[in-house]
Every structure is written in structure tokens, then in C-alpha cells.
Amino acid sequence: MQIASRLTLTSLALGIAGVLAMGQADASGFQIRENSVRNMGRANAGTTVAWGDASVVLNNPAAMVNIKETTVQADITMIDLTADFEGSGTTALGTPLTGGDGGDPGDATPVPAMAAVFPISDQFVVGASVSAPFGLKTEYEPSWMGRYDALVSDVKVVDLTVSAAYAVSDRLSLGLGVIFQNSDVTLSKAIDFGTALCAGSGNPMNCFNPAFPYHPQQQDGAIEVAGDDTATGWVAGVQFKASDAVTIGYAHRSEISHDLEGTVDFSMPASVAVVLGANPAYADGDIYAPFDTPSTDTVSLRVDVSDQFRILADAQLTGWTSLKSVDIYRDNGNVVGAEAFEWDDTWFYSVGGEFDLSEALTLRAGIGFDETPTNDEHRTPRLPDNDRTVYTFGLTWQASPHMTIDASYMRVEIDTPTVNTTSSSGSHLVGEFDGYADLLGVSAQYRF
């Protein structure tokens, strides 16, 4: 049964690696920028020079000097991704794949964030934030034709950031923060044991023999991989006021290296367990998988056109080359498998504006363009991703001298991504996804 063993060993690599490649709603790859509803209203333009926004604890700690009062902020953004698949496929033996289009894999998912900033003096400020910079959950219908590539993918990455800022002068400030990051990953996919057993029987023609007990797509099992880890990184930034009307900000967020530790669990029909139940390739057990969350470099510009009107812009480089490949190991150190992604670094550009309609009401809007790290050669159904254009609008209401309320909406248009991939079960899937996303966020900020 060597063919069956090879198929299943590779499925582990596809499992962890595939969940890391999972597409998400508002940004390319599996990045989430929604740690500030106010930023979202202007297409995340000006994130490192945001005035009066506690999200700078992570986005650029140097900009915390802009906040002169103790400030607590809570944000929540609902992300609703839609990705409809249209295509076809074949098994490892060339017979048509059965099943539907998988339904809509992206349910509406809330993404919360919290931040607090504490001015210690006119020059020194500290802050803390909790946010989710990466992750999403997608779930396809169990019988869809791409079930051998992906069923459930659940990624949760949560950051606790503690930062400090120092105003060197009225125009220059510096900031530094420590990031404590927890990653939790769970995923599942189907395994075509019928194909593995008949093809590995020594006579592949058994797959077409009605008397043989195993046939393609008739003895499906499943694999689930789960793991988590906590690691540390850092963020550093600078803010410079070139003039009374022009402010420039820059921040670098470090790459964070993880070693996911967890388990692999197999399920199989009873008829398959009789043959493969004792095979160590299908044994439940411990695994670990090194991977890095990417670094980011962000440059922002703010221009005060007048006392009421501001223009802001962002350019962000995300270091997705950290996901060139993902290697999976059993707990005894044996290499289980590897999956190449060959992701590229990407740029995100946005421009937005704010207008103070009155002392109590500010309106904002923006547009952005986000490159995808994927490519046609390596894209899989776990990442129905391509270049994205975002359109946003939002508002701030000064509810009282101490409290403000923000609301924002973002529409994400995704260029049609295609897939042409072969799963660990040997199935070949070809098709395209019609994808878009809607984001709606609200936040409240209180100043003491």
C-alpha cells in the first residue's frame, strides 16, 4: 500500500500549509487590517499618523504622542466573505469528481480589537492593545467536489501589544512595542481512500472492477490537523511633522516565528480500517509545524488642507515570502511532508480623506488597492484570492466631550481567481471563484 501511504503523508503538509494559505476578507493572503473602524473608513490610509486613534499602539507607537488624554477604545468589525466556485475535476484515475460547488465558504465573522493609551508626561506615553492581525474561518459543504483540497479551515491569530512612545521634540517622536502573538489553527479535508486502495492494490484496473470492494470516491475518510503556539515579536516606528500641515509616519512590524504544536486525527470507514488501521501513516498523533507570520513596513502621509479637511495616504509592504513553504513533522522528528507556496511580497496602497462637517460630525471616505501574494501556478481552493480593490466610507460622532462613536463600511472587489491544482488524494480540480466581501464596523472611544 505504498501509494496510499504517500497520499496520506502529503495530506498532512497540505493541511497545515493550506490553512496558512487560506484567503480572508479584507486584505490579501490571510491578513486582517481591521484594528480601527476609524482607519477603515478612509481605506486604512494614514494608519501610522492617525490622530486621536488608540490603534496606533500597534500601527505606529510613535504616534501615541498625538493622544493627550487617557484613552480607551473598543472596535468590532463584521467581515462577510462570499466566494462562489464554478468548475470541475477528476479523480487520480481520471473519472469525474462528484459533488457540488461547496456553497459559500465564508460566514460573517466578527473581528474585535481593543486599545488603551496612557500619557505619562508631555513627552512619554505608554499603551496596550489586543487585536487579530491574521485569520479567518471558511467551511465548504462536506460533499463538494473540492473536498479533497479543503473542508474546514479555522485560523485565529491574536496579538497583545505593549508599546511606549517618546517625543524627542515638537516635530519628532519615536516608538517601540513588544508583540505577544498566539496562533491557533484547526483544519480538515477529505481523503479518497477508495482511490488509494484500489490504485495501490498492485492492479490499478481493480478501480474499474465492480467486484473489487474499493472504488474512487466511495470510501472517503477525513484528516483533521490542529495546533497552536505563542511567540513574540516587535514593532517600531517614527513620526515626523515636516510642517504644521504635513505629517509623515513609518512603522516596521517584525516577522514572528512560530512552532505550531498539536495533533493529527484520521477518520476512515470501517471497511478501510480493516486494511489500513494498523498502518503508521494513518496513526493519530502529535505534530509540529514551523511557520512565520509576515513582517510589514508602512509609510503614511497626512496633509491638513484646511482646519476642516485632511488628505491621508498609505503604502504598506507585507513580507509574504516567509511562506515560501511549510514543512510538517511528527513528534518523533520524522518529516511528514512539505508544501510549496512560493508567495511573493505584496504592496497595499490607499488614499482617503476626512471632512469635519461640524464640531460633532466628521465624514470620511477612501479607496485602496491590495496585491495578492498568490499566483496562478500555486493557488489552491483554500485561498480564493487575487488582487483586490477596496472602497470605504465612514463617520465619527462626538457624542459627548469625552466619548466618540465611529462607524465604517468597506466593499472589497476581488479579481476572479482561478485554481488548477492536484490534491494529496490525486484529484485534479480546475475552476474559478467569484469573490467579494462586505465589512461593517463600529467603535467607541472614551477619554478621561
Q: What is the pLDDT of residues 394-429, one digit of tens each?
A: 999 999 999 999 999 999 999 988 889 888 888 999
Nearest one of 402, 400, 398 to 448, comparing CA atoms: 402
Which residue range(s) make up the domain with 415?
A: 2-447
Nine-digit cell at 319?
Answer: 513580507
Radius of gyration, CA atoms only, the chain: 24
| Average pLDDT of the residues in 114-122 | 96
pTM of the predicted model as reported, rounded to 2 decimal places: 0.88
The backbone torsions φ and ψ at residue 17, rounded to the nearest 5 degrees and listed phi first, read: -65, -40
Asked if the model's pLDDT at residue 446 lies above 90, the reply is: yes
Nine-digit cell at 131?
Answer: 487585536
pLDDT in tens, 297-337: 999 999 999 999 999 999 999 999 887 777 778 888 776 65
Q: Range with the lowest mean pLDDT among 17-21, 154-158, 222-226, 394-398? A: 17-21
Write down the pLDDT at residue 9. Answer: 36
Task: List strand residue ranges (DSSP E) for 145-216, in order.
Answer: 152-167, 172-192
The band of 338, judged by pLDDT with boundaries at 50, 70 and 90, is low
**Residues 345, 347: Cα–Cα separation, whole Å:** 7
Highest-confidence range of 70-79, 219-228, 370-379, by mean pLDDT?
A: 70-79
Q: Range with the lowest mean pLDDT among 100-109, 141-150, 152-161, 229-238? A: 100-109
The band of 16, judged by pLDDT with boundaries at 50, 70 and 90, is very low
Give the amino acid at 46: G
The band of 3, judged by pLDDT with boundaries at 50, 70 and 90, is very low
Q: What is the DSSP letter of 49?
A: G
**Residues 137, 25: Cα–Cα separation, whole Å:** 10
Those residues with Cβ within 8 angstroms of residue 219's Cβ, 6 or more apart along the chain or in another chain: 192, 193, 194, 197, 268, 269, 271, 272
pLDDT in tens, 379-393: 877 777 889 999 999
| Average pLDDT of the residues in 119-145 | 91
Write down the pLDDT at residue 80. Answer: 87
Write down the pLDDT at residue 19. Answer: 39
Ordered DSSP codes for 285-337: EEEEEEEEEPPEEEEEEEEE-SSSEEEEEEEEEE-GGGGSEEEEEETTS-EEE
* CB contact at 8 A, 291 and 21: no
Nine-digit cell at 357?
Answer: 462637517
**Residues 42, 368: Cα–Cα separation, whole Å:** 9
* CB contact at 8 A, 343 and 320: yes
Write down the pLDDT at residue 309. Answer: 98
* CB contact at 8 A, 410 and 54: no
Nine-digit cell at 271?
Answer: 471497511
Asked if the model's pLDDT at residue 7 lies above 60, the reply is: no
CATH at residue 104: 2.40.160.60
The residue to which cell 501511504 is assigned: 5
The residue to which cell 497595499 is assigned: 348
**Residues 302, 298: Cα–Cα separation, whole Å:** 13
Instruction: Tell me how many domains the chain contains.
Output: 1
| Average pLDDT of the residues in 86-98 | 92
* CB contact at 8 A, 114 and 75: yes
Report the chain's mean pLDDT, rounded to a whole number: 88
Nearest one of 423, 427, 421, 1 to 206, comparing CA atoms: 1
CA angle 270–198–211, rounded 5-degree value = 80
Nearest one of 424, 97, 93, 429 to 281, comparing CA atoms: 424
**Residues 129, 36: Cα–Cα separation, whole Å:** 11
Task: List strand residue ranges (DSSP E) for 46-70, in order.
Answer: none
